[in-house]
Amino acid sequence: MFILRRAQPPLSPQVTSCRSKQFVKYLQKRIAAAHEGLELGIGDASIIKALAEACGAKESQIKTRYKELGDLGLVAKASRSSQSLMRKPEALTVAKVFDTFRLIAKESGKDSQEKKKNHIKALLVAATDCEPQYLIRLLQTKLRIGLAEQTLLVALGHAAVYSEKHSSAPGHIDSPLEEAAKIVKQVYSVIPVYDKMVPALLTGGVWNLSKTCSFTPGVPIGPMLAKPTKGVSEILDKFQDMVFTCEYKYDGERAQIHYMENGLVEIYSRNAERNTEKFPDVKIAVSRLKKPSVTSFVLDCELVAYDREKQKILPFQVLSTRARKNVKLNDIKVNVCIFAFDILYLNGKQLLQEQLNIRREHLYSSFEEQHGYFLFATAITSNDLEEIQKFLETSVDSSCEGLIVKTLDRDATYEPSKRSNNWLKLKKDYMESIGDSLDLVPIAAFHGRGKRAGVYGAFLLACYDSNNDEYQSICKIGTGFSEAMLEERSASLRSKVIPDPKSYYRYAETINPDVWFEPAEVWEVKAADLTISPVHRAAIGDVDPEKGISLRFPRLLRVREDKSPEQATSSEMVAEMYNAQKLNQRDKQVENEDD
């Protein structure tokens, strides 16, 4: 594989830092942090062209071998190793490959595809042994090394301890490795950018990391998430003896709005992607409605489609018709209202460690409300079952999905990227089923028969287990599809067919689908309940040593364009939903026996 550094003399700290960052990014399968929006932007067609040119072969030959081997990486390795080389090419270094990847990503405009192809070709010409195979897999973003992000962070923490030159672990720390991993994870949750964290580790060491690397406006953090619940009584059970607040759950798009000291505004999506150009109106509204004393802030909110004349919230489907890029103020047809529910940073001070009631006070005192433009999320503080039930009804009458219930005291800090026990969601439409929908990945399909001949008749869905980096089958689905939808999904997945299941798919041999797919799409699915299954493998080992969990009566709701397969519902979540359902059933049984 590519060498990490080429030769003597010893590298300067800057160079070491640069190479370490690049190496970590390889492991992370990304060339830049999500908010930088830098993607390789190449398809198989460009790679095939480059490979053909690098090997002196015809494109048709490469395509035929691709069909035979089912992996372009293997085709590259075989094609290059059969070439006799006049002289050994100069060794590829991590830095060289990484810099070329960034060049590829930055090419734009006229002839950009041709330029990208030429960069790939240059890399392939220099690649030897197994390098072509890994180069191609990196370019296709298909290199799987079974490494979850959390493992990478732990490794970084440990590496920092082993190479500690700056200071040794403070005396009171018993297990420095564990502590260092904890620090790295905590810092990454508030500044998820390796470009900042790795140099800070190398220059200041791990024990100073929280000081040298901290939450910064302009760098989005993962949003705090809520756990599903099935009813008001479950909430009262979970939050017994605690003060909590219920807020309307608005159905729009999560947004983290960063307002910098220099007046610059950036808007980030739930996945930390830069969404600023989609919402120029939001940019103006926050700048106008912040109080004059406010010089910088980071706001957590939901952007919701809004009819300003009728003063009415509009459904999510209306918001999704809004253009994504380069929206001009005069062309906006779908207005949005900002519903603010949290503030994470204010006037140069981060508020993540503050309790929610304190953050709320800051929020309420920092902005003016204006109907149709900027409102605070409607909220009540109560622990009365009937009152909360009524509040749930009014939220639904006001075109919301239900409630988000949040603890106000006891460690009610903001927990970035975490599905926390301190936030619960109650969705009206799911109270009768399993509390929430699931986001699942189609990994295989069965050919349709009769009316469905020519399209797929049913699909095998999987959840994602991030600890083992694998997709575990959870159910077969054939309902919830309109004819048009089935055509559309079949057409889209046909291009994702692979000859064999991936090594990281877990399923029972008895399932026997007709075709397998790359993990490519995420589908939102509703189900009647969860059950232990001898066939499916979701959360296997969590609730039963040999059996997994499956969904009964799954129905397709929609495709989640905003989620990548690795952001599908986790097997951990599936196990939690199953356990919650079991508890509910037991409670109901006890209630019935009491009657």
Secondary structure (DSSP) of 101-137: HHHHHH--STTHHHHHHHHHHHHHHH--TTHHHHHHH
Please provide residue 446's backbone torsions phi and psi, each rounded to the nearest 5 degrees. Answer: -120, 135
Give the nearer residue to ligand ATP in terms of CB position, either 271 or 276: 271
> Does 9 sit behind a cis peptide bond, omega within 30 degrees of 0 on the bond before it?
yes
Q: How far is the CB of 523 from ligand ATP (least distance, A)?
A: 12
| Residue 319 is a binding residue for ligand ATP (CB under 6 A) | no
CB of 477 to ligand ATP, least distance (A): 18
Write the single-letter amino acid at 169.
A
| Residue 83, φ and ψ in degrees, nearest 5 | -85, 135
In terms of CB distance, is 130 or 148 closer to ligand ATP?
A: 148
**Angle value at C-alpha 250, between 246 and 254, nearest 5 degrees:** 110
According to the binding rule CB under 6 A, does residue 247 interact with ligand ATP? yes
Using CB under 6 A as the binding rule, the residues of this chain from 168 to 227 that contact ligand ATP are: 223, 225-226
Tell me: does residue 404 bind ligand ATP (CB under 6 A): yes
Select from 289, 377, 440, 445 the one that contacts ligand ATP (CB under 6 A). Answer: 377
Q: Is 9 exposed, middle or buried (0-12, 13-18, 19+ CB in 10 A)?
A: exposed
With contacts defined by CB under 6 A, name the span among 131-139, 166-174, 249-257, 475-483 that binds ligand ATP. 249-257
- At closest approach, how far in Å is the CB of 254 from ligand ATP? 3
Counting contacts by CB under 6 A, is residue 392 touching ligand ATP? no
* DSSP letter assigned to residue 435: S
Task: Show the site string, 299-318: x = touches ligand ATP by CB under 6 A, - = not.
Answer: ---x----------------
Give least dist CB 420 to ligand ATP, A: 10
476 catalytically annotated = no
The number of beta carbons lying within 10 Å of the beta carbon of residue 132 is: 27
Tell me how far apart the alpha carbons of residues 477 and 263 are, in angstroms, rounded to a whole number.
Answer: 49
Least distance (Å) from ligand ATP to the CB of residue 438? Answer: 9
Phi and psi, residue 265, nearest 5° = -120, 135
Show contacts with ligand ATP in window 257-286 (CB under 6 A).
Answer: 270
Asked if 77 and 124 count as a contact pair (C-beta separation under 8 A), the reply is no
Name the residue nearer to ligand ATP (CB basis): 250 or 345. Answer: 250
User: Which residue in 352, 363, 361, 351 sits closest to 416, CA to CA?
Assistant: 352
In this structure, what token pair is assigned to residue 383? 């622990």
Q: In the complex with ligand ATP, which residue's Cβ is closer, 124 or 301?
A: 301
The residue sitting closest to ligand ATP, measured at its beta carbon, is 254
Here's the x/- map for ligand ATP, 419-438, by CB under 6 A: it reads as ------x----------x--
- Report the interface residues with ligand ATP, using CB under 6 A: 223, 225-226, 247, 249-250, 254, 270, 302, 341, 377, 404, 425, 436
